[in-house]
Amino acid sequence: MPGEGHTTMGDRLEIRGLTKTYGNGVRALQGVDLDIPAGMFGLLGPNGAGKSTLMRTIATLQEPDGGTIRLGALDVLRDKDGVRRILGYLPQDFGVYPHLDAVTLLDHFATLKGIADRGERRAVVDALLQRVNLWNHRKKRLGGYSGGMRQRFGIAQALLGAPRLIIVDEPTAGLDPEERTRFLNLLAEIGEQVVVVLSTHIVDDVADLCANMAIIAGGRVLQKGEPRAAIDTLRGKTWRKVIDKGELEDHRERHMVISTRLVAGRTVIHVFDDGAPGQGFGAVEPDLEDVYFTALRRAA
Amino acid sequence: MARSDSSRFGEFLRFELRSRLRQPTVWLFGLLFALMAFGATTTDAIRIGGGSGLTAINSPYVVTQMLGILSAIGVLIVTAFVATAVVRDYEMRTYSLFYTCPIRRGDLLFGRFFGSLAMAWVVFVITAFGLAIGTLMPWLDPARLVPHQPAAYLWTLVVLVFPNLFVMGAVFFGVATLTRRVMFAYVAVAAFFVVYIVSQNLISGIENDTIAALVDPFGMAAVSVDTRYWTLAERNHSIPSLGRLVLINRAVWIGVGIAALVLTYSRFRMSAPIEGSKSAVDDDEPAVRVDREPPRVHLRHGFRQSLAQWGHQVRVELSGVLRSTPFVVILLFAVLNVFGGIYGAMDDMFGTPVYPMSYLMVEIIEGTSGLFVLIVIVFYSGELAWKERKVGLHEVYDALPVASWVPLAAKYVALVGAVAVLLAASALTGMATQIVLGWPHIDLAVYVQGLFFHGLTRWALVIALAMAAQAVTNQKYVGFLVMVGYFVLGAVLPAIDLEHGLYRYASEPSATYSQMNGWGHFVRGLVWYRVYWAFAATLLLIASALLWPRGTDNRWKLRVRRARAALRGPVAAATVLAFLGFVGCGAFIYYNTNVLNRWVPSDEQERLQVLYEERYKQYEHLPQPRVTAADVEVDLYPAERRVDFRGRLELVNQTDAPIDRVHVTLEPELTTRALELPDATLEEHDEELGYRIFRLDPPLLAGATTTLAFDVGFAEPGFKERGSSTSVVENGSFMHSTGFVPRIGYDRSAELSDPNERRERGLPERVRMADLDDVDARRNTYISHEADWIRFAATVSTSKDQIALAPGYLEREWTEGDRRYFRYEMDAPILDFYAFLSARWDVAPDRWTGGDREVAIEVYHQPGHDMNVPRMIDAVKKSLDYFTVQFSPYQHRQVRIVEFPRYARFAQSFPNTIPYSEAIGFIADLRDPEDIDYVFYVTAHEVAHQWWAHQVIGADAQGSTVLSETLSQYSALMVMEKEYGRDQMRKFLEHELDRYLSGRGLERHKELPLMRVENQPYIHYNKGSLVMYALREYMGEERLNRVLSRYIADVGFQKPPYTTARELVDRIRAEIQPEYAYLVEDLFETITLYDNRTRSATITALPDGRWQVDLEVETRKLRADETGAEHEVPLADWIEVGAFVEREENGRTREVALHLEKQKFTEHEGRVSFVVDEKPTRAGIDPRVLLVDRDPEDNVRTVAEN
């Protein structure tokens, strides 16, 4: 019920036992437990891992089959209206009304978010449009925006009303390097008292930005914690070798290959091994990607 | 930052209004509807309800009708707005932005709904303005306007239009929002219209008016019932009231709307659509590693491959359409609609059905499936054209090595295929219905020819236009607009006198199927027009293929450039060929329609009529010789549609002075080979109008005789655009003398008769008919001004396999080569009114004997149309039985009933010959004895004409049609009553009363009392039936028939001065009982109506087992003037009261009269009591509706026990 639960700055998002099975039998979430404190939290996982399902559930767009989500005293699943008052959501895939201009639509959302005073609203809308660098295009039809511009608009509406829970779902896919950098900087500015959940399959986004992370695949949380700590656990267990294409099958059978890459035309593999895997392998400093691939391989 | 928890309803509403008003759609729709209303008001082009004749253009009645009907069409508009109000968030993928805002779902739902609904209301306010502005236009005929009543607009908007849009909007908003797909709302709209039309058909009987009024969601039926019998005066000045029916209807339907909104609200959730999950596929399969080489393939290109691609894509596109849910739903409803259409159309006359012949099914399907085929074409042309772009696959597709014409050609053929499936389903439905209704004679050829050769080919043309509109404009909704424009033009062009088919895309000359003549000669014109427009369609398709949007840059300049580049080689050749074909066909068609034949558009027709009057009316009273004999030779060549008429008319100068000028009119279409009059020189010859003036030197002396010899021919080579002759056909020719035989003197009936048209052209007011007491008028009958009774003989020849008929007795029949000859002669004079028929008939012979007379009865009918022939013969016999005894002997030795093709729907009485249309009587389905046997009735009526018209004939003055039509109605009623019993007559007379009352409201000129009727069918047929039956009930049959038989004895076969209705009325007055003498004035000399009502009917059981019936009644007597304004007159009338009981007889419920007596009423209110032997079910005042009553329903009440 509105007003029953409330959040205070610095509350953490507690997800317990969240399950969701779709009508056709796909088990998108199979008992997800997460503790997400204030600050940047990265949710890493391949496509189909259940990330979007989880994001939409937190954003009140979907009902889970079981489990709870709490933000401080706020019961996220029951008190949807309470969540929406403090929520900023940037969906993975969204559209706009093509015949309207950015100011009009953003103003509309601002009203819907609850900013009743016209002066305040105008100030907020103007500020956000400048912040996402759409000020020069603010009067143009949204239908004419490029993909990157539309994404920036999405960010602007997500930041309306100083939300305390921000969900961003695959935000940098489709952005060029410059736009990506700008976006990540923007997120970083948001503030430490806000819970920001960044769901992505791009490892670098998490590595660059997030103090906390979880790896999710097949509806399950494979690993959680701080990225630094995760990398530390892998130190001394990651190995590198350059091989021919034809040898790949062979290596796969004999080792736990966690990643294959082409570097200047040669195949480079990373392998996980508690001890030295053998000749041709060299120890390599692990990074978050190794952590990610190792977790996935282990779960498969 | 301040937050407010208040309702966002206002914000959603405001946003919706602002957002929509910025887009052109609202204004475009408003403009379109306003133009339609404007056009309907200012021109006769567009007809939407509207004022006929004297109902003023801006009368409240017309305003209500027009806006009401437009609001029904407006269902589409309101759906267009509300369907997307919420669903657009799914289609545009903005839902995830909205649903995560702290809003209440009610605010979103209702804010958006009412905002969109308001748009529809705005459209109609604009429409009302368009209507109002139209009525202010200076070029409108002021005689057709009444003082403006803004209240009428307001009333209609508030009571009808706004609630209609609200209800429909709420329902379809619910459909779209809950199914989350806009298309379903449109499908629901189509389904709704089907159900609506079917239900209207089902409820079309008079008895169910109240139910019909309540069931109609548009409120129009309720208003209609309230104003059903309104006269002209009321329609022009009174605003419909909020009657009980209207109020209940509005309450019910607004309630439905609210319920729909509540239901939508309760089931609506602001959550992500489940579509993602249904088709979500588990992507956690481990990657399969395949390092083997992919298999080798050979790539082929070139025209053969393109053809194969095209074939393949046709299959893909077609199956896509056929399997799409909307199509399946449309198919289902189209099938339902065919059922409904058949059901509704089968009730032919007096509620009696006809046999479900295959060609009737085809006609009904063609008439009713139009809407659905249109929906399929317009929507799917857009869907198919944008299919790839909608799912984002177009970039992939457009980069494939597929020629640009392939997708266009495939989508085109697929859409044609989809329509073919729709038509096939309709055909199957028609066949199934035939079997269900018990007439399993399925003529497969007719179905295939009618629906596919004719129908599908025409739709293929329309589809070409639709695809071209999509391809060329490259905007889905503009393409739709183009199609809308095409249909609107189709209605508008003919109305502004642009009627020729050569410039109306996909047009064709009309064609009617007859089982006698098949598709007949109409086929030729149809085929050529089809080929002509097919060439045009080919050009359209070629243009579409060349301009087909491909890739991501489809600016107009680029597409034109690409098209120009591709226009070479075989494509260019094909274009040139198609163009040449188009022009060539066009030339050939023009040659046929305008050169070989005359092209007479409707305004041209009127111009000629005006010209005739302007030039020759001066000769109207010029003394002319009269025709006293006609001997005609007719050579008919049915296969060539050619006929030659030769003959001699004997002319006698029956005046006192010599005649030196003879005026002769011959139809200008005829080829005149000879027209000879002794001692005559042709002084003037008006070729345009076919008018000739001969000067006689020496003049024709008084009493002298001369002979006019003529030789004319008629042929229709090639084909005509319109007005193709149905008189001379391959099988079933029916030629009236007036079309082929020269006429003497000025013919008044050729003048333009409509008073509005006359005023527009500056012609003086025309007297419809001479006054009843005009002495001059009695010199002629109303049949002909050029003759009285003539001697008649004819020789008719036709092809060997046909029989030819003319009035007269067959004296001789012989064959010469491949021609067959018939010689007919009349042994007594006949009216100057005869016809010739020829066909391959079966003949059913019979004979009637009465006293010492013997009459041969023959029914000439199409083989296979013998179902009702025995009934016709029986009717003839029973009519002869009655008429020869009650009136006078039958003057001929034969009665011949002759079937002619269904191009016209009437039966007519010539001397001893009765042509009878295929469409009435021959195919009537009389298997249900509950149905009124109109075959019997029509036959009796036509036989009666042998007395009333061919023995007694009235002068050319008011009231003369009483002597022929009304008395024939009476005669037929008597024969029917003897056959079917008194109780059956009530049902029949109810129909007559309804027709009379409805006819009053449609009067274009002025209503007249029966005695002065000016050939107005609703008076001389319908009111006549009621009057004569009532007269019989008061006078008694014996007394009335005595008057009639004496009348015939005195005036039958008379020479001028001819009798008039006044003579008949005087005779009735002389014989009628003195206490009923007032009736003569009421029934014949004035327009008298009653308002009778039974307030209460109670019964009390008497100790001796009988029942006392007590009635409280009200009665009022009214006289009306010409325009329908009524005033009350004092009462001193005998009105019947009675009681009835329902009895089961032979498994049927019949209402039998227990008691009927006439009582005298002098006060408005009265109490009546009488005793009956049995417990009655109903009782009342004037229960058999002998007197004309505006509301006959309240005459009788179900009794209440005391």
pLDDT tens for each residue of B1143-1180: 887 777 778 888 999 999 999 899 999 999 989 999 99
Please determine, for residue B278, whether its predicted confidence score (pLDDT) is greater than 50. Answer: no
The pLDDT of residue B342: 82
Q: 3-class SS at B276? A: helix
Higher pLDDT: B138 or B804? It is B804
- The alpha carbon torsion through A229, A235, A239, A240 (nearest 10 deg) reads 70
- Residues A70-90 have a mean pLDDT of 91
The pLDDT of residue A69: 95
Tell me whether strands B913-917 and B894-900 are parallel, antiparallel or unpaired.
parallel
Paired with B792 in beta bridges are: B630
Residue A112: its chain B contacts at CB < 8 A?
8, 11, 98, 101-103
- Angstrom distances, CA of residue B143 to CA of B37, B132, B135, B759, B764: 20, 17, 12, 9, 14
- In this structure, are residues B893 and B993 in contact, taking their beta carbons and an 8 Å threshold? no
Smallest CA–CA separation between B902 and chain A, in Å?
57
Report the residue from A111, A112, A161 with minimal CB separation from B1: A161
Res. B830 pLDDT band, cuts 50 70 90: very high
Q: Across the interface, do B93 and A93 touch by the CB < 8 Å criterion?
A: yes
pTM here is 0.79
Best to test chain A binding among B89, B97, B552 (most A CBs inside 10 Å): B97
Q: Tell me, what's the ipTM? A: 0.86
- Interface residues of chain B, partner chain A, Cβ below 8 Å: 1-6, 8, 11, 15, 19, 22-23, 88, 92-94, 96-104, 270-272, 274, 277-284, 286, 289, 291
Q: In sequence order, what DSSP letters do the residues of B914-951 get, joined into one string?
A: EEEEIIIIITB---STTS--HHHHHHHHHHHHTTBTTT
Put simply, whether A24 touches B (Cβ < 8 Å) is yes
Please determine, for residue A261, whether its predicted confidence score (pLDDT) is greater than 50. Answer: yes
Q: How far does Cα B1121 stand from its chain's mean position?
A: 30
Res. B329 pLDDT band, cuts 50 70 90: confident
Residue A161: its chain B contacts at CB < 8 A?
1, 3
Q: How far does Cα B161 stand from its chain's mean position?
A: 26
Q: Which two tokens stand for residue A18?
A: 């969240």
The pLDDT of residue A4: 46
The pLDDT of residue B899: 96
Best to test chain B binding among A60, A109, A111, A220 (most B CBs inside 10 Å): A111
The pLDDT of residue B2: 46
Mean pLDDT, all residues of chain A = 88
Put simply, whether A123 touches B (Cβ < 8 Å) is no
Smallest CA–CA separation between A53 and chain B, in Å?
10
Q: What is the pLDDT of residues B549-562, one digit of tens each?
A: 988 788 899 899 98
The pLDDT of residue B27: 85
Residue A174: its chain B contacts at CB < 8 A?
none
Q: Across the interface, do A89 and B4 touch by the CB < 8 Å criterion?
A: no
Q: Across the interface, do B11 and A62 touch by the CB < 8 Å criterion?
A: no
| Residues in contact with B740: Cβ distance below 8 Å, sequence separation at least 6, in sequence order | B643, B645, B667, B670, B712, B714
Chain A residue with the nearest C-alpha to that of B277: A22
- Residues B1105-1129 have a mean pLDDT of 88
Q: How far does Cα A8 stand from its chain's mean position?
A: 23
| Residues in contact with B153: Cβ distance below 8 Å, sequence separation at least 6, in sequence order | B63, B67, B128, B131, B132
Asked which of B461-470, B477-486, B582-591 is least confident by mean pLDDT, the reply is B477-486
DSSP state of B642: E
Q: What is the pLDDT of residues B286-303, one digit of tens each?
A: 555 565 677 787 777 888
Best to test chain B binding among A108, A125, A157 (most B CBs inside 10 Å): A108
Smallest CA–CA separation between A50 and chain B, in Å?
10
Please determine, for residue A237, whether its predicted confidence score (pLDDT) is greater than 80. Answer: yes
Report the residue from A23, A89, A114 with minimal CB separation from B96: A89
Which of B901, B888, B1174 is closest to B1044 using CA atoms?
Answer: B888
Q: What is the pLDDT of residues A27-44, one digit of tens each?
A: 889 999 999 999 899 999
Residue A117: its chain B contacts at CB < 8 A?
2
The pLDDT of residue B59: 83
Name residues 47-76 of chain A within 8 A of B (Cβ): 47-48, 56, 59-63
| Residue A99, φ and ψ in degrees, nearest 5 | -85, -5
- Residues B675-689 have a mean pLDDT of 91
Smallest CA–CA separation between B289 and chain A, in Å?
9
Higher pLDDT: B437 or B573? It is B573
Q: How far apart are CA B255 and CA B259, in angstroms?
A: 6
Residue B11: its chain A contacts at CB < 8 A?
108, 111-112
Put simply, whether A1 touches B (Cβ < 8 Å) is no
State what percent of residues in chain B have pLDDT above 70.
96
Q: 3-class SS at B840? A: coil
Res. B279 pLDDT band, cuts 50 70 90: very low
Q: 3-class SS at A39? A: strand
Put simply, whether A29 touches B (Cβ < 8 Å) is no
Q: In sequence order, what DSSP letters do the residues of B308-376 get, joined into one string?
A: HHHHHHHHHHHHHHHHSHHHHHHHHHHHHHHHHHHHHHHEEETTEEB---HHHHHHHHHHHHHHHHHHH
Q: Across the interface, do A89 and B103 touch by the CB < 8 Å criterion?
A: no
Please determine, for residue A293, whether its predicted confidence score (pLDDT) is greater than 80. Answer: yes
Res. B144 pLDDT band, cuts 50 70 90: confident
CB neighbour burial string for A239-277, b if at least 16 within 10 angstroms, e if fewer:
bbbeeeeeebeebeeebbbbbeeeeeeebebbbbeeeeb
Residue B283: its chain A contacts at CB < 8 A?
46-48
Q: Across the interface, do B1 and A26 touch by the CB < 8 Å criterion?
A: no
- Number of A/B CB contacts below 8 angstroms equals 111
Measured in Å, how far apart are chain A's first and last C-alpha atoms? 42
Res. B702 pLDDT band, cuts 50 70 90: very high
Chain B residue with the nearest C-alpha to that of A167: B100
Q: Across the interface, do A112 and B5 touch by the CB < 8 Å criterion?
A: no
Helix (H) or strand (E) run with residue B183 in it: helix B182-202
Res. B975 pLDDT band, cuts 50 70 90: very high
Q: Which two tokens stand for residue B441?
A: 């004679």
- Positive/negative CA dihedral, B677, B682, B687, B690: negative
Please determine, for residue B987, whether its predicted confidence score (pLDDT) is greater than 90. Answer: no
CA angle B473, B479, B480 (to 5 degrees): 170
- Residues B992-1000 have a mean pLDDT of 88
State what percent of residues in chain B have pLDDT above 90.
53
Q: 3-class SS at A81? A: helix
- Residues B374-389 have a mean pLDDT of 88
Which of B322, B2, B167, B658 is closest to A85 using CA atoms?
Answer: B2
Residue A162: its chain B contacts at CB < 8 A?
1
Smallest CA–CA separation between A162 and chain B, in Å?
9
Res. B349 pLDDT band, cuts 50 70 90: low
Angle between helices B869-886 and B1037-1051 (to 10 degrees): 80
Q: What is the pLDDT of residues B9-67, one digit of tens each?
A: 999 999 999 988 888 778 878 887 888 788 777 766 556 665 555 677 788 888 888 88
Q: Across the interface, do B102 and A113 touch by the CB < 8 Å criterion?
A: yes
Q: How far apart are CA B662 and CA B682, in angstroms?
A: 10
Q: Across the interface, do B281 and A26 touch by the CB < 8 Å criterion?
A: yes
Please determine, for residue B1, whether its predicted confidence score (pLDDT) is greater than 50. Answer: no
Q: Which two tokens stand for residue B808?
A: 């007269």
Q: How many CA atoms lie within 13 A of B380 on its CB side?
A: 32
CB neighbour burial string for B1072-1097, b if at least 16 within 10 angstroms, e if fewer:
beeebeebbebbbbbbbbbbbbbeeb
The pLDDT of residue B868: 93
- In this structure, are residues B919 and B902 in contact, taking their beta carbons and an 8 Å threshold? yes
Q: Across the interface, do A85 and B3 touch by the CB < 8 Å criterion?
A: yes
Residue A84: its chain B contacts at CB < 8 A?
100-103
CB neighbour burial string for A50-75, b if at least 16 within 10 angstroms, e if fewer:
bbbbbbbbbbbbbebeebebbbbebb
Q: Which two tokens stand for residue B690?
A: 């076919």
- Residues A66-93 have a mean pLDDT of 91
The pLDDT of residue B551: 82
Neighbours of B149 (CB within 10 A): 17
Q: Across the interface, do B283 and A48 touch by the CB < 8 Å criterion?
A: yes
